[in-house]
Amino acid sequence: MPRRIREVSEQEAAGGSAALAKEFDAARARLAKQLPAMPLDRPVSVFAHVLPLDQCLLTRLVELVVHLDDVAVSLETPTPSVPAEAADAVTTCLTRIAVARHGFLPVIRTLARRERAIDPITVF
């Protein structure tokens, strides 16, 4: 999968940054018009998977927030803030994944009682 993501990214960037920015702006304008009318359970194909629209958007939001921090750290610059609604959605999603993988009590202990936390809790 990572190889395919890189290949698609390289193809989309081949025309240069100005062309890519223009494509981004056009896609954003289309989505701003279309998304509000789409049903949240509409199937969306993402590489080899099909997700309902709401889950697809949530996974993209998690990726954006996580990679925003990755890029900022790699550039040694402060991580930009994200809107509160996005931060809440990402925090809720990652917390649910952590609970599913590690259990409720270990997550609570990690968040609230560091002295009782056994191992670091990660979701990826």
User: Is the confidence at residue 17, as pLDDT, over 80?
Assistant: yes
User: Is the confidence at residue 2, as pLDDT, over 80?
Assistant: no
In the prediction, which pLDDT does 1 show?
Answer: 63
Answer whether 0.85 is exceeded by the pTM. Answer: no
**Radius of gyration, alpha carbons of the chain:** 18
**Domain map of the chain by residue range?**
1-37
Closest CA to 66 of 82, 44, 50, 42: 82
Nearest-angstrom CA–CA distance, 36 and 58: 15
Nearest-angstrom CA–CA distance, 55 and 44: 9
Average pLDDT over residues 92-119: 93
